Amino acid sequence: MKNKKIGWIGTGLMGNPMVKHLLSAGYKINVYNRTKEKAADLIELGCTWFDTPAELAADSEVIVTIIGFPKDVEECYFGEKGIFAGLKQGSLLVDMTTTKPSLAIKIAEKAATAGSDFIDAPVSGGQLGAINGTLSIMIGGKKEVVDTVLPMFEVFGKNMVYQGPAGAGQHAKMCNQITIAGTLIGVCEGLIYGAKAGLNLTTMLESISKGAAGCWSLDVLAPKIVKGDYSPGFSVDNFVKDLTIGLEEAEAMKLSLPGLALVKQLYISIQAMGKGSSGNQALYLALEKLANMDGGKATE
């Protein structure tokens, strides 16, 4: 895999550190991003810039995308200057965006007609996981194709699990996001209760994070809330996008997920507060407001 030229589309909070890991491991990387400034440091480190996804695809053997919303993914692949407009036969496409399983299947079908392969490989772990190279990667596609790309995934990932055919990776990511959504309510309400009870929240977290309540959100997001840090490792806007996909997929399968629907509405209220670019731990702000706390704040 290291002898192949990698084309990388999407150099934001997640993509930028992932590319840096690949550069450090000796990979040759072509890059494209809608905002060139967000790729400036990568270009300085040796990445080659291309002006369109089509031009990048024409000069790359493996094309990786990790961008925004499903409409962005669709445009990136199927647009007039998209990947398929410049794709070479025999290329491998890897979408690491969290997007619709149905879109992953659509891309896989188009790739097959173009003589190429596609896998969907959404990630979990947020910006911190990308920086530390500890991402969890959920993978869908042909198993024999997935095996060829694992050495690249190992550069920035720690837990790579094959889920099944195209679209299965995205379905697994929906399970991840649904679980996080419900867990975050508990984390935030536990902090609200602790603050009202007059506990030292840092001390309280030392106890419950090592017991049955232990989870990533308690370890990473709860301390940020205590410090009043709502900077994005994963933004509210992107989380609303993911929760919307989860609800749409659930409806298509005739599933009722009331907890997921509730969390989405809470996150929409955060967007209404003008905090859509905040980290998803900003759920605390919405729940604190609903709790009508009398001056209680998540502070040490």
Sequence-separated (6 or more) residues with CB below 8 Å from residue 39: 11, 16, 31, 32, 33, 47, 49
How many domains is the chain partitioned into structurally? 2
Mean pLDDT of 233-249: 95
For residue range 43-87, list pLDDT tens digits in order.
Answer: 999 999 999 999 999 999 999 999 989 999 999 999 999 999 999
Strand partners, 164: 140
Q: Is 110 a catalytic residue?
A: no
210 with 109, same domain: the answer is: no
Active-site position among 20, 106, 173, 275 = 173
Average pLDDT over residues 255-267: 96
Boundary residue ending a domain (133, 166, 199): 166
| pLDDT tens digits for range 94-109 | 999 999 999 999 999 9
175 with 273, same domain: the answer is: yes
Asked if residue 150 and residue 258 are part of one domain, the reply reads no
Q: Average pLDDT, whole number, for the chain?
A: 95
Report the percentage of the chain scoring pLDDT > 70: 97
Residue 143 is assigned to a structural domain of this protein: yes
**pLDDT at residue 220, as a whole number:** 94
Kindly state whether residue 1 falls inside one of the protein's structural domains.
Answer: no
Residue 247 pLDDT greater than 70, yes or no: yes
pLDDT band at 3 (very low <50, low <70, confident <90, very high): confident
Does 128 lie in the same domain as 276? no
Q: How many CB atoms lie within 10 A of CB 250?
A: 16
pLDDT at 294 over 60: no
> What tokens were used for 216?
């990533």
Query: How, if at all, do strands 135-140 and 123-124 pair?
Result: antiparallel
- 73, with CB counted inside 10 A (0-12, 13-18, 19+), is buried
Kind and range of the H or E element at 159? strand 157-164
State which residues form the domain around 282: 171-291
- CA 283 vs. chain centroid, Å, equals 18
In a domain, 45, yes or no: yes
| Angle in degrees, CA 183, 17, 102, rounded to 5 | 60
pLDDT at 300 over 70: no
pLDDT band at residue 296 under the 50/70/90 scheme = low
Instruction: Give residue-wise pLDDT tens across range 146-172.
Output: 999 999 999 999 999 999 999 999 999
pLDDT above 70: residue 237: yes
pTM of the model: 0.92
Q: Using pLDDT thresholds of 50, 70 and 90, give the confidence band for residue 180.
A: very high
| Inside any domain, residue 297 | no
